[in-house]
Chains A and B, each alone.
Chain A
Amino acid sequence: MLPCNPLIAAQLWISPDGTGLQLLTGLRRAGAVLPTLVQQQHRRIVGSPAPMIEFVLLVNKQGQTRVAKYTDSSLTTDERRALEAEIVRKCLTRVDKQCNIVEHRRYKVVYRRYASLFFLMGIDAEENELGTLEMIHCMVETLDKWFSNVCELDIMFSLDTTHHILDEMIANGCIVETNKGAALTPVQLLERAG
């Protein structure tokens, strides 16, 4: 155990150019128990009211997850997989005429189906269900603008870009950008820079 402040430790160990980490990785590869902050108490994020948009999911009708973004960090990887599978199963049993809202566990899930792909948003009780439904469509329109006629494979091949676009539109569980041009500008700038 390092007796010093974890932050200082981190700064000592990782210089901005990453050489410190190289060392760290090497140690880890060698099977060493890292003398870092492993013993630090595990502290959960404590935002008192839950965020309004808990997750955004893109899942195809076979139940395979294509994009998953969670604001709520309390779920483990396994819990997330289980949640996704359950919700899609529920959505698949519903017919077109029924409303696009499903209550599942503590979440209210608003979903919209585009061909084989489900767009799902988990929201809290305050959020407007009809507005969320339109927000999904707004996201799809934005993706469509970027990929021109977006399909499941586009999203798969450009998973990083899809994430980036969604991040521009939804952050911290809030809708932060619905101007399609403004949402795509940073993505474009970054593509050019890369």
Chain B
Amino acid sequence: MDLANKVAAMAKRTLPVSGVFDELIRGIGESKSKSEEDAIVGKLIELSKQKIREGRREPRSQKELLVYLIYIEMLGHDTAWAQATAIQLCSDKNLAVKKLAYLTVSLLLDPASELSIMVVATIQADLRSDNFLTVCTALSAICHIASPELVSVFLPQVTALLRHDRDLVKKRALLAMQRFIQVDPGVAPDLERHLIDKIGYKEPSVMIASLCGLRELIRRDPAPYRNLVHYFTNILKQAAEGKLGRAYEYHRAPAPFVQLELLRLLGLLGAGDRASSENMYAVLAEVKRRAEPLGNNIGNALVYECIKTLTTIHPSPVLVAGAAESVSRFLGARENNLKYAGIDALTRLVLIDPKHAQDHQLAVVDCLRSPDVTLKRKTLQLLYKMAGPSNIEVIAAEVLVFLREGGDEVARGDAARSLCDLAERYAPDHRWFVDTMNELFEAAGEVVPASLADNLTRLIAEGTGEEDEGADRELRAGAVEAYLELLDRPKLPHVLLKVICWVVGEYGCLSALSTDSVMDKLAAIPETQASDDEVRGWAVSALGKLAAQSGRALTSDASALVSSAAAAESVQLQQRALEVQALLGMSAATQRAALPYDAAAEDVGVDADLPFLDSFVQQALQNGAAPHLSLDDRTAMGMTRDDGGGLGPLPHASALKFQAYATAPAPQPRPAMPPPAPAAAAAAGGMDGPSDLDVGGLSLSQPAGGAAAPAPAIAAMPAAQNSAPAAALPSAGGPQLILNKPGRKWGGPAVAAEPSPRSGGASSSVSSPAQPYATSGSASHSAAASPSPAAAPPPAVDAAKQRLAASLFGGGGSTSTAPGLRGRRSPAKPAGASKPAVAAPDLLGGMDVSAEAGAAAPAGAAAPPTASDMDLLMGLGASVPSTATASNTAAPLLDPMAALAGLGGMQQQQRQQQQQQQPGLVALADLMGNGAAVAAGPNMQQQAGAGLGFGDFLADTAPRQQPSQQQQPAAPLMGGPSKAPPAAKKDPFADLLG
């Protein structure tokens, strides 16, 4: 084993080795499993503790101890017990031990740890040392342990050391300064001068250290340092000419890492500044000219960095043209590293001028088909930048292919988000959007944001935003058909099931199938798909809606599902099922009133003053009831606690266990609610806080609450219904489809930035790609379907690839050049394979949108406002008049649909009154909370029970404790007798109401 001998000899040379040390390190190297390794680490720990106890002072023993500690830490074990010893050894007289101790401390200690302060005194002493090596050691230690508090402690000494005679010390001092700026940017003004002073220093390593420090400053704010450009260009020129000396040469390139650093600095300084940029052009061209012939990795790295720089600064047409040539060289290379750099560089070039993508269509498609995930991901990022109305279908198809392949969660999440963003911006029509989103949910349901499902349901509920009922109907019917078909497939992701249940429940009657078979399909969901309580709840709600709207009874399967849900353990699910059962037992008129067809996007007016109850209240008062006191009054009178826990000094309050239920989490993800208005809070006052109104996912008609979102925002005044666009407020919540504005369907920021987004030109370019979709879509499908891309591509694949390329790259260039370019790029392929005819329909307007975005970017302009920003602005603007109109009463934060569902039993009420009734519940709750014994009729009590109980207590998802009471959901919550007579079920709140 000469290797082992050599190693042993080497080890002896660098470290005085004891037999034990040798054996242990070797053991670590040879250990094959984690347990073996842990056993050795255990020995190391034992040995180290023994050494610490002995406290031997000879250097060899101390160094061994420190190396053990590094190993113990590196292999993932705790070293807190030895940190003090390591700190102590920093003040050892032996320089080697000191250096090693500093190293150990830097590895063992978190810089934020208090213990690092203990090294401060030692470092300060070492900085004063006569031995420059000790000083260097201390300076490097500063880099590791510096924290914001310590900067001012070290700063004077470090600054003074810049005048040390040794270059090594100067360099280390500059690096310590860089660290200071990193941890505490506030010191930058003090250090700036010292760093600039050293740019021209004759010793390259000192100069490089000053560049590192300056980079920290320039990264934070380049503007004050633009006058340094000519220094940097000078140094860069010298470095490129090899004037830093042969020692800095690496693989025939002169000081390449210094060049890279300077190129980056120039990029930072030239961005958005034309004058500085122009001063760089000459030297950039020179660096690139010298790097190109090297032909090796480092040469390519330099060229790549040049491209990065010249695409960051104000562009020079000549340089950009040169960069485009280098990009073709990279993309044509065999090595994937170069292709990666090529794609990245191309992404940058496309931002300057989209035409560059034209020249590399096939190469880009190749990278897209590569089995190398890194390369593929990078290429997708290029496609996102290239996306426009003309190629969105193809790009979306590509992203979906990537998502179906599986892989990294982060990568899939990014891709899914980007696809959502692009689809919302460039979707040619609603139908396409719905289809794409369905596919996205199916391919990557676990990584898509939940808000997307809400967007989709809202889109379907609100329709096209134009007053075209026929188109809306078609869209919905199409969606319903698609979803019913999807249900035949196994294992759909949750988020998709949610959307399906909602849409089929809401619009199931549009299906070509009979309502009964639609119901059966819904009822089968828990069996064929997931069967957890959430999904069953969605299905039950959907069935309820479907039955109520169509006026038909549940099918036997469906009613079996509902009854089983009514006996479920989950209180929430049980709640839903019982509501559905109760509602379906009522007259058809009530059912339709409670769950009207296609009303998810309708406004619901709410009058928080509840005038319709006036006579009732009056009567109660005449019968001797105590008058209502507002929450403020009660608080003032000391009748109510402010902690939101109880309903005031009710004698039986504790029996109701309000505390436990009040703190339970909301049972379901819900759309963002608008902030509570003061009036609403007051209206809700009786319930001790708005959280009590949080009826969560209990709404009978809403599985997702997506389309319900608009409703809560509607102000109480009927006038507001007309003036406030639905969803004006909720749209502020998150990324949105731009659907609310009549007359405008789609459009990205670039399109929206045009002075007249609704002009004929824009709308035609948006709507026309619908037809090309058929051809390009099929092209991409055939390309996607082609087998292993790694295999030698038969001509058919080439044809598919070219078609894909054609549909991807679409327009931008003139149609006459496109086929020619393709021909040139693929001389080996059969000429007939390229089919410009397929590409032709796609070519319209191709890159227009990205062209505008690209033109804006290099000018240093901020990114154009995103679609959601625009939407937010418009939404907020629209909401102003509505709140102004609803001057005296703001909307209570009830989910109106839930409230309506709760009111299902009120047969005698008129339809328009129903809309006003939900605050009635609030008022009732308020009254009850007040402890006022209102002598309400049994009917009213039942309503109150439905409203209050369903809306509040039953929202809790806490599992039921007593299975024997499953038929009496309210009983345990009421704290009533466990064997309540059946009568109590009818009127469970009698207790509460006294």
A, B from the same assembly: yes
Are A158 and B15 in contact, CB atoms less than 8 angstroms apart? yes
Are B256 and A131 in contact, CB atoms less than 8 angstroms apart? yes
Determine the chain B residues whose CB is within 8 A of the CB of A102 once the complex forms: 374
A171 to chain B, nearest CB (A): 5
Are A193 and B125 in contact, CB atoms less than 8 angstroms apart? no
Q: Is B183 located at the chain interface by the 8 A CB criterion?
A: yes
Are B261 and A175 in contact, CB atoms less than 8 angstroms apart? yes
Q: In the complex, which of the residues B208, B247, B304, B374 contacts A180, with contact meaning CB atoms closer than 8 Å?
A: B247
Tell me the bound Cα distance from A77 to B74 in angstroms: 8
Q: Is A144 located at the chain interface by the 8 A CB criterion?
A: no
Q: In the complex, which of the residues A16, A154, A161, A181 contacts B91, with contact meaning CB atoms closer than 8 Å?
A: A16
* Closest B residue to A60 using CB positions: B29
* Closest B residue to A66 using CB positions: B74
Q: Is B301 located at the chain interface by the 8 A CB criterion?
A: yes
A48-B220, A101-B374 given; A178·B248 CB < 8 A: yes
Chain B residues at the A interface, C-beta cutoff of 8 Å: 3-4, 7, 10-11, 14-15, 17, 22, 25-26, 28-29, 31-32, 37, 52, 59, 63, 66-67, 70-71, 73-78, 84-85, 87-92, 94-97, 99-100, 103, 107, 110-112, 114, 117-118, 120-122, 125, 131, 133, 136-137, 140, 143, 147-149, 153, 168, 171, 175, 178-179, 182-185, 204-205, 208-209, 212, 215, 219-220, 245, 247-248, 250-251, 255-258, 260-261, 264, 297-298, 300-302, 304-305, 308, 335-341, 344, 371-372, 374-375, 377, 408, 410-411
New contact pairs (5) apart from A11-B121, A16-B121, A160-B99, CB-CB < 8 Å: A13-B118, A18-B92, A37-B114, A101-B337, A130-B341
A99-B372, A102-B374, A175-B257 given; A157·B114 CB < 8 A: no
| 0 or 1 for each of A155-174: is its CB under 8 Å from B? (1 = yes) | 01111110110010001111
Q: In the complex, which of the residues B120, B247, B256, B377 contacts A181, with contact meaning CB atoms closer than 8 Å?
A: B247
B10 to chain A, nearest CB (A): 6
Determine the chain B residues whose CB is within 8 A of the CB of A81 once the complex forms: 76
Determine the chain B residues whose CB is within 8 A of the CB of A181 once the complex forms: 247
Chain A residues at the B interface, C-beta cutoff of 8 Å: 6-7, 9-11, 13-18, 21-22, 24-25, 28, 36-38, 40, 42-49, 51, 62, 64-68, 73, 77-78, 80-81, 94, 97-105, 126, 128-131, 133-135, 138, 147, 151-154, 156-161, 163-164, 167, 171-182, 185-186, 189-191, 193-194
Q: In the complex, which of the residues B140, B148, B168 contacts A171, with contact meaning CB atoms closer than 8 Å?
A: B140
Q: In the complex, which of the residues B26, B88, B94, B205 contacts A177, with contact meaning CB atoms closer than 8 Å?
A: B205
* Closest B residue to A38 using CB positions: B114
Determine the chain A residues whose CB is within 8 A of the CB of B87 once the complex forms: 14, 21
Determine the chain B residues whose CB is within 8 A of the CB of A42 once the complex forms: 112
B232 to chain A, nearest CB (A): 16
Are B121 and A46 in contact, CB atoms less than 8 angstroms apart? no
Q: In the complex, which of the residues B15, B178, B184, B336 contacts A98, with contact meaning CB atoms closer than 8 Å?
A: B336
Of listed B89, B147, B149, B260, residue having the most chain A CB within 10 A: B260
Tell me the bound Cα distance from A189 to B137 in angstroms: 12
A123 to chain B, nearest CB (A): 12
Q: In the complex, which of the residues A100, A103, A167, A191 contacts B140, with contact meaning CB atoms closer than 8 Å?
A: A167
* Closest B residue to A84 using CB positions: B76
Q: In the complex, which of the residues A22, A98, A157 contacts B25, with contact meaning CB atoms closer than 8 Å?
A: A157
16 A–B pairs (Cβ distance < 8 Å), ordered by A:
A16-B121, A49-B219, A73-B111, A77-B77, A99-B336, A99-B337, A105-B410, A128-B304, A130-B338, A131-B305, A134-B298, A158-B10, A159-B67, A176-B212, A186-B136, A190-B137
Q: In the complex, which of the residues B17, B29, B112 contacts A43, with contact meaning CB atoms closer than 8 Å?
A: B112
A181 to chain B, nearest CB (A): 5
B178 to chain A, nearest CB (A): 5
Tell me the bound Cα distance from A63 to B182 in angstroms: 32
A14-B118, A129-B340 given; A161·B84 CB < 8 A: no
Tell me the bound Cα distance from A154 to B14 in angstroms: 10
Determine the chain A residues whose CB is within 8 A of the CB of B111 once the complex forms: 45, 73
Are B29 and A156 in contact, CB atoms less than 8 angstroms apart? yes
* Closest A residue to B152 using CB positions: A7
* Closest B residue to A47 using CB positions: B182
Q: In the complex, which of the residues A6, A40, A174, A194 contacts B178, with contact meaning CB atoms closer than 8 Å?
A: A174
Determine the chain B residues whose CB is within 8 A of the CB of A62 once the complex forms: 32
A164-B103, A190-B133 given; A176·B112 CB < 8 A: no
Are A43 and B121 in contact, CB atoms less than 8 angstroms apart? no
A90 to chain B, nearest CB (A): 8
* Closest B residue to A102 using CB positions: B374
Are B7 and A151 in contact, CB atoms less than 8 angstroms apart? yes
Determine the chain A residues whose CB is within 8 A of the CB of B121 once the complex forms: 10-11, 14-16
Tell me the bound Cα distance from A103 to B410 in angstroms: 9
Are B91 and A36 in contact, CB atoms less than 8 angstroms apart? no
Tell me the bound Cα distance from A190 to B566 in angstroms: 79
* Closest B residue to A37 using CB positions: B114
Are B143 and A174 in contact, CB atoms less than 8 angstroms apart? no
A100 to chain B, nearest CB (A): 6
B289 to chain A, nearest CB (A): 18
Are B260 and A128 in contact, CB atoms less than 8 angstroms apart? yes
A133-B337, A134-B250 given; A21·B114 CB < 8 A: no
What 8 A-B pairs are tightest by C-beta distance, nearest first?
A194-B96, A130-B301, A157-B11, A99-B336, A37-B114, A47-B182, A16-B125, A21-B88
Of listed B182, B220, B336, residue having the most chain A CB within 10 A: B182
Determine the chain A residues whose CB is within 8 A of the CB of B103 once the complex forms: 160, 163-164, 167
Determine the chain B residues whose CB is within 8 A of the CB of A7 once the complex forms: 117, 120, 149, 153
Determine the chain A residues whose CB is within 8 A of the CB of B251 once the complex forms: 134
Tell me the bound Cα distance from A64 to B184 in angstroms: 35
B711 to chain A, nearest CB (A): 39
Are A172 and B179 in contact, CB atoms less than 8 angstroms apart? yes
Q: In the complex, which of the residues B7, B52, B74, B245 contacts A157, with contact meaning CB atoms closer than 8 Å?
A: B7
* Closest A residue to B15 using CB positions: A158
Determine the chain B residues whose CB is within 8 A of the CB of A65 once the complex forms: 74-75
Are A159 and B133 in contact, CB atoms less than 8 angstroms apart? no
Are A178 and B209 in contact, CB atoms less than 8 angstroms apart? no
* Closest B residue to A167 using CB positions: B140
Tell me the bound Cα distance from A100 to B91 in angstroms: 43
Are A156 and B375 in contact, CB atoms less than 8 angstroms apart? no
Tell me the bound Cα distance from A49 to B23 in angstroms: 44
Tell me the bound Cα distance from A23 to B943 in angstroms: 75
Determine the chain A residues whose CB is within 8 A of the CB of B37 once the complex forms: 64
Determine the chain B residues whose CB is within 8 A of the CB of A99 once the complex forms: 335-337, 339-340, 372, 374-375
Are A156 and B28 in contact, CB atoms less than 8 angstroms apart? yes
B125 to chain A, nearest CB (A): 4
Are A131 and B148 in contact, CB atoms less than 8 angstroms apart? no
Determine the chain A residues whose CB is within 8 A of the CB of B340 once the complex forms: 99, 101, 129
Determine the chain B residues whose CB is within 8 A of the CB of A43 once the complex forms: 112, 147-149
A194 to chain B, nearest CB (A): 3
Determine the chain B residues whose CB is within 8 A of the CB of A175 once the complex forms: 257, 261
Are A172 and B7 in contact, CB atoms less than 8 angstroms apart? no
Determine the chain A residues whose CB is within 8 A of the CB of B66 once the complex forms: 160
A179 to chain B, nearest CB (A): 4
A187 to chain B, nearest CB (A): 10
Are B14 and A191 in contact, CB atoms less than 8 angstroms apart? yes
A28-B84, A99-B337, A135-B257 given; A171·B143 CB < 8 A: yes
Are A172 and B143 in contact, CB atoms less than 8 angstroms apart? yes
Determine the chain B residues whose CB is within 8 A of the CB of A37 once the complex forms: 114, 117
Tell me the bound Cα distance from A73 to B257 in angstroms: 25
* Closest B residue to A109 using CB positions: B374
A43 to chain B, nearest CB (A): 6
* Closest B residue to A158 using CB positions: B14
Tell me the bound Cα distance from A42 to B212 in angstroms: 28
Determine the chain A residues whose CB is within 8 A of the CB of B260 once the complex forms: 128, 131
* Closest A residue to B305 using CB positions: A128
A99-B374, A153-B7, A178-B248 given; A6·B117 CB < 8 A: yes
Tell me the bound Cα distance from A65 to B31 in angstroms: 12
Of listed B4, B88, B89, B114, residue having the most chain A CB within 10 A: B114
Determine the chain B residues whose CB is within 8 A of the CB of A94 once the complex forms: 372
Determine the chain A residues whose CB is within 8 A of the CB of B147 once the complex forms: 43, 45
